[in-house]
Structure 1
Amino acid sequence: MNLRELSEHLNLSQTTVSRALNGYPEVNETTRRRVTEAAERFNYRPNVRAQKLAKGRSMSIGHIIPFSNQNEMVNVVFADFIAGAGEVYANHGYSMTLSLVRDEEELTAYRGVAEKGAVDGIIVHSPTRNDPRIAFLTALDIPFLVHGRASEITTPYAWMDVNNKRALEMATKHLIGLGHRRIALINGQEKMDFALRRRAGFLAALEAAGLTPDPAFMASGEMSEPHGYGCARAMLNRETPPTAFVTSSIVPALGIRRAIEERGMRMGRDVSLVCFDDAISYLPNGDERPVFTAVRSSVRDAGKRCAELLIERIKDPTKPPGNELWEAELVIGPSTGPCP
């Protein structure tokens, strides 16, 4: 079924149907729902080439990844984010442009896609505390949205983030409530803003309980299974080892579990563990029952929401940049128990 046939079936003009499918605000909600339900029922898909010509847009969203972060391209967290965003792009007739560039050419790449009109908007990944990309993209006057935040930038920009500080504070307080006092943090790379916020949450919980953090019980690095294993193994080999761990991802949590079990100890009885769980579809935290006690927030859902927010900005670039902050949920599993 094409646009003309769908319009005739609904007894609406082609313009109204097109505007309803593309989310224009002047179409009332009743009409929009009627049009989208009919489009789904008849398996109608808009002609992307025609949309590009009519709107003067590329109908593409850009994701630019520097070589130093190329591990993101195969990272299960990044893959789930892209899967969520891609689903929304497809539903709105957008494609995705994913580029890997040299670090020193990253800003040039942003300028290139903006000036050529190769993309209609950009999603910025892995922001640092004072990320230079934000001011650069603002000056280019292209719609963009940051997945995360840059703590030191006070000028308005569009972002969507999870409350990383509160999530790790909640995880650490859970362990303190179980009687743990020697708690270790195995964090992500602390050049990233999210990891600094998670560290701040960990320290805030210790401070509130009157506990002094031990630098030997804090490590940061790539969120991989070997990193979690190596850090946990070294800490457990200390004369006075930690009785509990908090970690920034379910991936290093697997390595921490390996280090615990290698010593003949049982997770949840001898050593407790709480992780941040991105609800990764390819690495779920158990089936009916969670494997790890975790603070959970779906990165796939975050990808969907980032895509929706960016598309809204593309449709109306005059809108002030919006922000959205999600709270993580504490899920109790068998990886935590009273301090032995």
Structure 2
Amino acid sequence: MNLKQLAQHLELSQTTVSRALNGYPEVSEGTRKRVTEAALRLNYAPNARAKGLATGRAMAIGHVIPISTQHEMVNPVFGDFIAGASESYLAAGYDMTLSLTGDADEAENYRRLKAKGNVDGIVVHGPKMRDSRIPFLKSLGLPFVVHGRASDMDEEYCWIDVNNARAFQRATEFLVDLGHRRIALINGLESMDFAFRRRHGYEAALACRGLVPDPAIMVSEEMTETNGHRAMSRILAAPMRPTAVLCSSLITAIGVRRAIHDAGLVMGRDVSVITHDDDLSYLRNGPDVPIFTATRSSVREAGKLAADMLLRLIARPDAEPETCLLEAQLIIGASTGPAPRQDP
């Protein structure tokens, strides 16, 4: 199917269909959604070579992935984000490029992509509190959208993020309402913006209820199953073990559940667990009743929204930066319950 046939099918002009697929702001959101859904359903794929010649664009979006011993690129999360973004790229006739880079030469890779004209825009992943990539990309004049935020920077830039502070504040309040007073936190690396915000939400909730955070049961590590198991095993071995724990990743929470089982305890009875990011295509949180209580925000939807935002920025590079803050849902599962009675 070509553009003319797609336009005839939708009873729209070719110009309107083209502008909808390319993210032009003057097209209403309803029309854009109708066009993109029809393009996907009818397997419409614009000729990227011809389109690139006509527009002077590469018709490609870049994702540069740092190779690091300490980086929060959790594979299932990144895979879902890319799947969502790809829907928008496909509908708009864009290809996607993935580049692996060492931390030290990441800036050089951005410079090379810009110089060669290989991509029309970049999605930045895993921002730190103060992230040098943001001012660097602005200086290059390369359109970009950040998945997350950099709290310690005053730069204006396009970003999409989850309200991490509010999600963990709400989760902590839920546990306190269940009677828990000693609540552990197994967080991601707190140089990363999302993890800093989650700790802030956790601490704010405790403070509002007159509870003091205990550094002995607060952990900041890369989010892996092994780290979750090791951290929870150490916390449970302490004389005053917590009755509940917050985890920054479902992957970490799986390790936490294993540690609880190894200690001869029952999750949801002896120790309550709340996790984040449980809505993953390849790592489901139970078939019917959720295994874990979770703060849920669709990573796939975030990927699609980020891609749409970047395509709009490419179409209108002088437009004011867009931002999007998503709220997480609290999903009640089998991993939480009332605080157990403590021995006198």
Query: TM-score, normalized by length of structure 1?
Result: 0.92
The C-alpha deviation readout for 1:205-263, integer Å capped at 9, x for no partner, is 11111111111100011111111110000110111111110110111111111111112
Q: Work out whether 1:214 is the aligned partner of 2:253.
A: no
- Aligned ranges 1:1-340 → 2 under 5 Å: 1-4=1-4, 15=15, 17-25=17-25, 43-68=43-68, 75-340=75-340
The C-alpha deviation readout for 1:26-72, integer Å capped at 9, x for no partner, is 56789878866775675433111111100100011111112216976
Q: Secondary structure at the match of 1:131?
A: coil
Cα distance in 2 between the residues matched to 1:211 and 1:10: 59
Cα distance in 1 between the residues matched to 2:214 and 2:31: 61
Moved more, 276-285 or 238-247: 276-285
Cα distance in 1 between the residues matched to 2:268 and 2:274: 10
Is the CA contact 2:292–2:332 (under 8 Å) kept in the aligned structure 1? Answer: yes
* Deviation (angstroms), 1:21: 3.9
Cα distance in 2 between the residues matched to 1:194 and 1:81: 16
Cα distance in 2 between the residues matched to 1:219 and 1:96: 36
The C-alpha deviation readout for 1:82-132, integer Å capped at 9, x for no partner, is 111112111111111111112111001111111221100000001011101
Cα distance in 1 between the residues matched to 2:37 and 2:294: 38
Cα distance in 1 between the residues matched to 2:81 and 2:29: 29
Cα 1:336–1:19 change in 2 (3 A) is closer
Cα 1:107–1:36 change in 2 (3 A) is closer
Q: Which amino acid aligns with 1:205?
A: A
Q: Secondary structure at the match of 2:100?
A: strand
Cα distance in 2 between the residues matched to 1:204 and 1:8: 56
* Deviation (angstroms), 1:169: 0.8
The C-alpha deviation readout for 1:272-325, integer Å capped at 9, x for no partner, is 111112411111111221111111111111111111111111111111001110
Cα distance in 2 between the residues matched to 1:29 and 1:214: 47
Q: Secondary structure at the match of 1:311?
A: helix
How many residue pairs end up in the alignment? Answer: 340
Runs of 4+ in 1 over 4 A off after TM superposition: 4-17, 25-43, 69-74
Cα distance in 2 between the residues matched to 1:29 and 1:265: 51
Q: Which amino acid aligns with 1:187?
A: N
Q: Which amino acid aligns with 2:55?
A: K
Query: TM-score, normalized by length of structure 2?
Result: 0.91
Cα 1:9–1:159 change in 2 (3 A) is closer
Q: Secondary structure at the match of 1:280?
A: coil
Cα 1:285–1:196 change in 2 (3 A) is same
Is the CA contact 1:278–1:299 (under 8 Å) kept in the aligned structure 2? Answer: no
Q: Secondary structure at the match of 1:185?
A: strand
Is the CA contact 2:127–2:148 (under 8 Å) kept in the aligned structure 1? Answer: yes
Q: Which amino acid aligns with 2:84?
A: G
Q: Secondary structure at the match of 1:101?
A: strand
Gaps spanning 5+ residues in structure 2: where? none
Cα 1:29–1:224 change in 2 (3 A) is closer
Gaps spanning 5+ residues in structure 1: where? none
The C-alpha deviation readout for 1:132-169, integer Å capped at 9, x for no partner, is 10000111111100000000111211100000011111
* Deviation (angstroms), 1:17: 4.7
Cα distance in 1 between the residues matched to 2:83 and 2:10: 33
Q: Which amino acid aligns with 1:120?
A: D
Q: Secondary structure at the match of 1:290?
A: coil
Q: Secondary structure at the match of 1:313?
A: helix
Moved more, 169-178 or 72-81: 72-81
Q: Which amino acid aligns with 2:223?
A: M
Cα 1:46–1:234 change in 2 (3 A) is same
Cα 1:196–1:115 change in 2 (3 A) is same
